[in-house]
Amino acid sequence: MIHIAHWIGGAERAGESGRFGPVFNPATGEQIAQVDLASAAEVAGAVASAKEAAKAWREASLSKRSAVLFKFRELLAARTGELAAIITREHGKVLADAAGEVARGLENVEFATGVPHLMKGGFSEQAATGVDVYSIRQPLGVVAGITPFNFPAMVPLWMCATAIASGNAFVLKPSEKDPSAANWLAALWAEAGLPEGVFTVVHGDKEAVDALLTHPDVAAVSFVGSTPIAKYIYETGTAHGKRVQALGGAKNHMIVLPDAELDAAADAAISAGYGAAGERCMAISVVVAVGEIADPLVEAIRARLPKVRIGDGADPNSEMGPLISAQHRDKVAGYIAAGEEAGATVITDGRKADNLPEGGFFLGATLLDDVTPEMTVYTDEIFGPVLSIVRVDTYAEAVQLVNDNEYGNGTAIFTRDGGAARRFQFEVNAGMVGVNVPIPVPVAYYSFGGWKASLFGDTHMYGPDGIHFFTRGKVVTSRWPDPGTSSVDLGFPQTR
């Protein structure tokens, strides 16, 4: 049995709490490792080590920090396959998808290599006579990241690249379901020359999270996970005086207008609905078919489903892997049953799929038609390979559905009408919008974030918002008077 330890002070550190969590290979259903679960005291030790490291790291020049990021980028690019294999083994997603996740994380590292430019402030000469004013951005100190199971490398990279580049020490509390990617990243940072303690990993569950949320030396918490936990993180962290950005769950709608290119829309629905077995916060879970395209669209999606190759993610022939756990698979199957019960038409039933491998946490791809907004398959984030079709008559009804939804992470429209697409972009209430693009995850030099129950806080993740989140502004007003020009003036300083 592999033992997964913490990473503190630049090296692996075995836990002392006596508590462990099981780690499974979802493709076989076997437990392959156990991970240490930190106590509050162990978290305090990790934060103390990070605090020491932060003091020295903020003194490191911008070019030194940038050099470490460049080195880290080179190592990560060269060893993507190694990390992808670790992700597949513990998460279950197929290797190509895992490599794609690493590639999207790599983008964030590339963005952060530009830290000398990103940390630039402004300068106003002669703001008043003989007075100059300038702004600078400074790191916060120790910052924490708490991440979900579904992107065990990309989401930590979203956070740590900008946090570290901007001069902070970063403490990661990864998902306890697939924790090995975090330790692999820690070792890579060390190899890239990052000083000890600037990147720390504490494994754990609620106890470790609560310890971070309440620790006085943690200045900021960046969180990605489900909406109820995101809300809890935001409320608890801010109540303890921290800066918090907490990204939550999603229910992403893809609107297909009658003039859309049918095959492209069906391909997109399959890719975005069933990729990573639907365990993506940007997965499409609802297709809103407008008008007469509904029948041919449902048929086109149905016809494609049997061709999706389900299997162990480590097999290069597999296109869709298992779900993260047996409990989660059963919960998703329960949603399909509830949808059927509530009157949805089950076009393809993943519970009855005959092409599933033995042993793992597999569930077949499911397509539900005639779904209505009251059904739990519509209201809840299922986070599995279940695509719901909602039929509406008009574009206006389709947009209303998206805007009335509790979540507002991503959404997409499929159409050949540029005017309709522009109107959609203008009036839809979601943070990330795709036009004939089903998964509009922003490139690293923009920022990622949803609206409504998909994000608590106001700054989005990575990109310019990431630099802003992990730094605070300071404005300096300075005068260097000529000798002999000094005088007493009790009036309020004015700029003329």
Which residues sit at the interface with ligand NAD, rule CB under 6 A? Answer: 146-151, 173, 175-176, 205-206, 209, 224-226, 229, 247-250, 281, 381, 383, 409, 450, 454
Nearer to ligand NAD, 250 or 420 (CB): 250
Nearest position to ligand NAD, beta carbon = 225
Over the chain, what HEC string results? CEEECEEECCEEECCCCCCEEEEEECCCCEEEEEEECCCHHHHHHHHHHHHHHHHHHCCCCHHHHHHHHHHHHHHHHHCHHHHHHHHHHHHCCCHHHHHHHHHHHHHHHHHHCCHHHHCCCCEEEEEECCEEEEEEEEECCEEEEECCCCCCCHHHHHHHHHHHHCCCEEEEECCCCCCHHHHHHHHHHHHCCCCCCCEEECCCCHHHHHHHHHCCCEEEEEEECCHHHHHHHHHHHHHCCCEEEEECCCCEEEEECCCCCHHHHHHHHHHHHHHHHHCCCCCEEEEEEEHHHHHHHHHHHHHHHHHCCECCCCCCCCCECCCCCHHHHHHHHHHHHHHHHCCCEEEECHHHCCCCCCCCCCCCCEEEECCCCCCHHHHCCCCCCEEEEEEECCHHHHHHHHHHCCEECEEEEECCCHHHHHHHHHHCCCCEEEECCCCCCCCCCCCECCEECCEECCCCECHHHHHHHCEEEEEEEEECCCCCCCCCCCCCCCCC
Nearer to ligand NAD, 139 or 248 (CB): 248
Q: In whole angstroms, how close is the CB of 71 to ligand NAD at the nearest point?
A: 28
Nearer to ligand NAD, 57 or 448 (CB): 448
Nearer to ligand NAD, 15 or 167 (CB): 15
Q: In whole angstroms, how close is the CB of 172 to ligand NAD at the nearest point?
A: 9
Q: In whole angstroms, how close is the CB of 158 to ligand NAD at the nearest point?
A: 8
Q: In whole angstroms, how close is the CB of 174 to ligand NAD at the nearest point?
A: 6
Q: In whole angstroms, how close is the CB of 276 to ligand NAD at the nearest point?
A: 10
**Active-site residue flag, 281:** yes
Q: In whole angstroms, how close is the CB of 5 to ligand NAD at the nearest point?
A: 17
Nearer to ligand NAD, 146 or 194 (CB): 146
Q: Which of 281, 386, 421, 467 is catalytic?
A: 281
Nearer to ligand NAD, 206 or 352 (CB): 206
Query: Which residues are catalytically annotated?
Result: 281
